């Protein structure tokens, strides 16, 4: 009986973990919709919505005679069960603000792909790749915070407009590294 209880708890934990990791990959043809925001709103926070997005990164290296073959995969993901929205007035405008958060994540996935495309495998590969990822992830977090600070969480519409133009321009510069 004890075995089955432990097995049930383990299977249930795996199911909950799988549900929590639901994600939407960035795609220029698929914009966010309010239905994508599935988490319960954080009522104590002053802003009206929250986008939880992030970079995923995996790599592999195999030694072939005298060379190292390095492959990698980078993703830009939106996490529905960690993103939320409260009741809002300017529906389209706020959704565009949240989309821009996701676009900033995609911008940094392109920066990571560019950095990895120029990477030459070395003897400290794991540390070097971790350092590259960590630096770009730090830049992503800083840009997300700067975006919210300058736009006052979407209240400053002029700043919001400037950010939209800036992110679009930066993404276009790195279009060859898009998802």
Cα separation of 138 and 152, whole Å?
21
The pTM (predicted TM-score) of the whole model is 0.87
Is 107 in contact with 174 (CB distance < 8 Å)?
yes
**Nearest in space to 21 (alpha carbons), one of 62, 70, 79:** 79
Cα separation of 64 and 1, whole Å?
51
**What's the pLDDT at 76?**
98
- Asked if residue 18 has pLDDT above 70, the reply is no
Mean pLDDT of 70-79: 97
For 103-159, what is each residue's pLDDT tens digit?
999 999 999 999 999 999 988 999 999 999 999 999 999 999 999 999 999 999 999
**What's the pLDDT at 20?**
60
Beta-strand pair 84-85/24-25: unpaired
Cα separation of 76 and 132, whole Å?
16
More confident residue, 18 or 41: 41
- Asked if residue 29 has pLDDT above 60, the reply is yes
Q: Average model confidence (pLDDT) for the chain? A: 89
Main-chain dihedrals φ then ψ at residue 88, nearest 5 degrees: -135, 160
Cα separation of 6 and 102, whole Å?
39
Mean pLDDT of 64-79: 92
Mean pLDDT of 159-171: 98
**Nearest in space to 107 (alpha carbons), one of 171, 166, 160, 164:** 171
Query: How many residues are listed for the chain in this entry?
Result: 179
| Cβ-proximal residues to 48 (8 Å cutoff; 6+ apart), any chain | 85, 86, 87, 88, 94, 153, 154
């Amino acid at each position: 009986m004890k075995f089955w209880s432990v097995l049930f708890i383990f299977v249930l934990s795996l199911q909950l973990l799988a549900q929590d990791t639901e994600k939407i990959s960035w795609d220029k043809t698929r914009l966010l919709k309010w239905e994508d925001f599935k988490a319960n709103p954080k009522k104590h926070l002053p802003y009206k919505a929250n986008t939880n997005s992030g970079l995923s990164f995996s790599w592999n290296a195999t030694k072939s005679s005298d060379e190292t073959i390095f492959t990698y995969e980078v993703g830009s993901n939106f996490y529905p069960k960690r993103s939320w929205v409260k009741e809002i007035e300017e529906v389209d405008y706020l959704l565009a603000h949240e989309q821009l958060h996701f676009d900033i994540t995609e911008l940094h996935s392109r920066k990571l792909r560019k950095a990895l495309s120029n990477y030459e495998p070395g003897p400290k590969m794991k540390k070097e790749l971790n350092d590259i990822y960590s630096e770009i992830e730090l830049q992503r977090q800083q840009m997300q915070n700067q975006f919210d600070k300058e736009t006052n969480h979407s209240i400053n519409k002029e700043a919001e407009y400037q950010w939209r133009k800036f992110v679009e321009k930066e993404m276009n510069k790195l279009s060859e590294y898009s998802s």
